[in-house]
Structure 1
Amino acid sequence: MTSLRACLAASLCLATAIALAPSPARADRCDDLAAQLKRHIDGLHVGKTAANAIFLSHPAARQLILGCPNRKFTNELIAGTDSRKPKPEFYDLVAQASAIIFTIPKADTLRGVTRCIKRMGLLRGDDVRMRYRRLNMHCTRTKTSAAIAVSRGNDE
């Protein structure tokens, strides 16, 4: 009888240990998205994660940041270049990354990115905000550089 009790106690301890054991680690959705970007965009490298943002690098952009979800937006892509008038490779990079992040066709994101950056100038100034295909686009430029931030609000 005591061996039966010992066997039951051992099996109960084993079942409890299995139930309370930590599950395998799972990367969060933002890390998964960064890995997906790296798989689909040639030349893209994933850097450090800091303060709810993942720093990326690509030859076509001086600055490339993937902002993780927070209270204001679902995801955000921030890209900057060294020239006042970006090259077509920059437009293509931002459009392709935005298409992957926000699951919108690349042609639509390319049109929105191009419109936002080309609107900056003498009439509209160097700070342009616009919406295109439920995306918020904010383009800025200085005397030597241009940048764009593409995001989607949490309520959309």
Structure 2
Amino acid sequence: MSIRSTLPAALIALAVFVAAPAHADPCVDIAKQLAGQIDGLKVNFSAANITYLTHPAAKELSLGCRGKDYSIELYAKTDRKMKPEFFNLVGSATALIFTVPKDDAVTGTSRCLKRMGILRGNTITMRYRRLNLECTRNKTDASITVRRGNNE
């Protein structure tokens, strides 16, 4: 084979790879939108379909995409004695991620978080506006996981 016969094939292959669009991770795109719309929220890093976020009102904050049983998931953790800023953060993020009205998102997430106690226990699982909410607490921390199932 001569250089003249392989050169056009190499140029065509190079053109195909250069022209192919880059596919971004949808979790990272959603996280960037959240960071742009919620004050104080920053995107940390992504690993294994989870994008880790930071915010002054939360100890831990992450956004997960495409798990076995869910299409998207928001996880937030704070001190056991929750502050109003945490309720606002979780409600705002839930509204933006799952495209529900902010009032409904704040109502559902705060209802789940406030139900934990002596009478109902330390783990609450509920469904609100097609969202699966799971709130847990221990001696020092409280957390909420908001999910939407794969089939919804």
Does the alignment reach a TM-score above 0.5? yes
- Secondary structure in 1 matching 2:134: strand
1:141-152 correspondence runs (5 A): 141-152=137-148
Work out whether 1:55 is the aligned partner of 2:49. Answer: no
Could you tell me which runs of 5 or more consecutive residues in structure 1 were left unpaired when the two chains were aligned. Answer: 1-5
In structure 1, the partner of 2:135 is: 139
In structure 2, the partner of 1:3 is: none
In structure 1, the partner of 2:31 is: 34
For 2:14 and 2:121, the matched residues in 1 are separated by: 64
In structure 2, the partner of 1:90 is: 86
For residue 28 of structure 2, what is the amino acid of its counterpart? D
State the aligned residue count.
148
For 2:127 and 2:147, the matched residues in 1 are separated by: 10
What TM-score does the superposition give when structure 1 sets the normalisation length?
Answer: 0.86
In the TM superposition, what is the alpha-carbon distance from 1:15 to its structure 2 partner? Answer: 5.8
Could you tell me which runs of 5 or more consecutive residues in structure 2 were left unpaired when the two chains were aligned. Answer: none
What TM-score does the superposition give when structure 2 sets the normalisation length?
Answer: 0.88
Kindly report structure 1 stretches of 4+ aligned residues shifted beyond 6 Å. 10-13
In the TM superposition, what is the alpha-carbon distance from 1:97 to its structure 2 partner? Answer: 0.5
In structure 2, the partner of 1:106 is: 102
In the TM superposition, what is the alpha-carbon distance from 1:21 to its structure 2 partner? Answer: 3.7
For 1:97 and 1:113, the matched residues in 2 are separated by: 11
- Give the % identical residues: 52
Distance 1:16 1:67, change over 3 A: closer
Larger radius of gyration: 1
Render the CA deviation track for 1:41-73: whole Å, top value 9, x for unaligned.
111110111122111000000010101122311
